[in-house]
Chains A and B, each alone.
Chain A
Amino acid sequence: MTCWMLAEASGETPFEARFESIGAFLPEHRVTTRELMATTKHHTRIDLERLTGIREHREANPTESSLSLAIAAARDCLSRSRYTGADLDVVIDASITRYVEGTTYQFEPPLSMAIKRAIGAAQATSFDISNACAGMLTGVFLLNDMIRRGTIRRGMVVSGERITGLGTNAARSIRSILSPQLASLTLGDGAAAVIVDRASAPGIRLAGFTTLAEHSRLCLGLPGFHHSGANMYTRARKIHEVAMAEGPPLLEEILERGGIHLGDIDWLIPHQTSVRAIRSGEKILAEKMCEHPRHVVVTVDEYGNTASTTLFLALHHHLAEHQFKRGDKILLLSVASGLEIGVVLLEMDELEATHGSVH
């Protein structure tokens, strides 16, 4: 028995799965944390940059939406891929923000429909996933299962997050460091996409998810009552405490199932909430597991917390900088509202050689 719903590269399924291409799109406009904090209605005395380590983030322009960002990332992903849109069997959108224009949020049809039309994947099965910041990794978990069973040959998971409006709304009410909307000021806009395809050797060595649902209400994102856009209310300290208390034994369990130690991991890419949270988590993991990964990836200082896309923007960033070597073991770790914990263990293959420069 295990806490995890788990897919292992065991050779028991007919096929293996790998990451074939990673795409990204970041809006050009950069906003520093100092500039953002200058917009708060009340004098807060919060040094958010010191508190989080976030120097800046990107903000979409008024003509860009969650949908348009996602389409741009999907196109970037295809531009680096051997496949065209028509080759995709499945397209999954995992955006939390589902804005199609301005602050107009679309319930139906699913955003994945518009995305697959835009990239010429008309024949692909499509649907959306909502799983907070673990959405993209959840999509990968699903595609991995479908590919390993032979149901499909390849699919794309894509997400566009136009989420900085939550920070704009939060800036009107935040008075102190104790505000439940403080985490909204750490958000950044961005989009990412990944193509997962059938492989002869396992690129995805291990994939698992579990939901610690007794903490399901620690972070809520919902539309504003008397203003446009949305608000996010987060008990950030409690989430961090839970993640630090429950994360290490869970990680130990899944790595044991995969026959690998934390010390064997070359790159740990955790969900990017703040530099301080990542460094604190790194320290606690090392203390509790008595070993540590070779590198822990941080991009939140540059991009902010881009919600469901953080892991894939970080992967894209490091691929573009040619930091990975073939054979490197990369652990993607989602910690998201729910409380969702997700893990995908990759072994780097030709992806590192075929990737181009960052946008």
Chain B
Amino acid sequence: MGACIEAAATSTRRGMLIHRGAVHLADDAAETCLSRAHHDADDLDLLINTGIYKDRNTAEPALASIIQEDVGANVGGPAQIGHHGTFSFDLLNGGAGFVTAAHVADGFVASGTARLAMIVASDADPSPRTSRNYPFKPAGGAVMIAPGKLGFQRFVIRTFPEDAALFESRLVWDAHAGFRGHNVVEIREAPAFADHAVEHAASTAREVLADAAIRADQVDVLVTSQYPHGFGLRVARALGIPDDRLPYVPAPLRGVHTAGPIGALESALTTRRFAHARHVLFVTAGAGITIGVAWYRGWE
């Protein structure tokens, strides 16, 4: 038994005047994803959130439990023996969070521990007035994973700690910010981050393709992170995968963080390219530098 992708959805802010934080973006994407997959929220066994930048930088509870409540997955009454339940938690691995969570969900679904898993990712600048160098556009994404014949075949998640200092994101206390000081989101990205992310992503993906005995031109769809800018195209060219294997990603989803690969996946699903693909390659990158690569098989 494998774990297959049933549906994907994204949500973005509509209009500058409407402030929609990470929770709302996640809720919207999760509800659309449930609807597209024709599942009731109560059917969910597992809900993993991979978003990093949350409303008010909330450290607890896991955002996943809040999303679970908001979409109404097994809520509203005392737990009763024999009734269904949902387990929610956050998994944090930066831009590689989606592939890492897919690895975890794939395991639980393939072993039968879970039947239906949803991965949610959303990020929004928690404090736009004070954040420094926050580079990501706000967006939410959700992907439904269910048992299937083929689906995910191989995952590789690799880190390149020699490049850890190329992207650092912290919440620091600045006593001089505002009237009385503020905790400030501060992101430091070195100019070399994008180049190194592409280089490490390409080397990791090459290894996955070689292990699977798949030529670059046999990759039908290449789903990638949407940050750093131009990452997908540069990885495709480094691997020798034709440019047209990258799904079109609408402008509001270019430059988003953890939901980036979900934006590309949604595009491939809605245009039916995913359904017709034999080999799908997911290539994601984030701080660390962490690279997450997954090979997904659509048909024999």
A binding-site residues for B, Cβ under 8 Å: 1-7, 13, 96-98, 100, 102-110, 113-114, 116-117, 122, 125-134, 138, 142, 145-146, 148-149, 151, 209-214, 216-217, 219-230, 232, 245-246, 249-250, 252-253, 256, 336-340
Contact = CB atoms under 8 A, between A and B. Distances in A.
Nearest to A95: B59
Nearest to B83: A3
Contacts of A226: 178, 180-182
Interface stretch (B142-150, B204-212, B233-241, B284-292): B284-292
A3 B79 contact: yes
Contact of B90 (A107, A122, A130, A145): A130
A145 B60 contact: no
A338 B172 CA distance: 26
A140 to B, nearest CB: 12
Nearest to A242: B78
Given A106-B169, A108-B94, A122-B161, A113 B68 contact: no
Contacts of A212: 75, 79
B62 A130 contact: yes
B160 to A, nearest CB: 10
A5 to B, nearest CB: 4
B46 interface: yes
Contacts of B90: 129-131
Nearest to B48: A129
Contact of B60 (A1, A104, A148, A219): A219
Interface stretch (B14-22, B109-117, B260-268): B109-117
A128 to B, nearest CB: 4
B92 interface: yes
Given A3-B80, A339-B65, A130 B89 contact: yes
Contacts of B172: 104-105
A4 B85 CA distance: 6
Contacts of B76: 214
Q: Interface centre among A13, A110, A126, by most B CB within 10 Å?
A: A110
Nearest to B52: A107
Nearest to B159: A113
B61 to A, nearest CB: 4
Contact of A132 (B61, B74, B181, B288): B61
A145 B111 contact: yes
Interface size class of B (residues with CB under 8 A): 35 or more
Q: Interface centre among B45, B88, B157, B183, by most A CB within 10 Å?
A: B183
A210 B86 contact: yes
Contacts of B83: 1-3
Contact of B65 (A5, A97, A252, A338): A338
Contacts of B171: 104-107, 223
Given A5-B45, A246-B78, A246-B79, A211 B183 contact: no
A269 B110 CA distance: 31
B37 interface: no
Contacts of B173: 102-104, 227-229
Contacts of B68: 211, 213, 216
Interface in B22-60: 45-47, 52-53, 56-60
Contacts, number: 236
B183 A228 contact: yes
A113 B288 contact: yes
A138 B93 contact: no
B89 A223 contact: no
A129 B79 CA distance: 25
B249 interface: no
Contacts of A110: 92-94, 287-288, 290
Which 5 residue pairs are nearest across A and B when measured between Cβ atoms? A3-B85, A228-B173, A213-B68, A337-B61, A108-B287
Given A220-B60, A228-B183, A336-B61, A213 B86 contact: yes
Contacts of B182: 225-226
A337 B97 CA distance: 22
A98 B78 CA distance: 33
Given A104-B170, A213-B86, A224-B183, A252 B81 contact: yes
Contact of A109 (B88, B91, B167): B167
A240 B209 CA distance: 52
B166 to A, nearest CB: 10
Nearest to A307: B60
Q: Interface centre among B61, B82, B90, by most A CB within 10 Å?
A: B61
B85 A211 contact: yes
A223 to B, nearest CB: 4
B66 interface: yes
Given A211-B87, A220-B58, A127 B170 contact: no
Contacts of A108: 52, 94, 167-169, 286-288
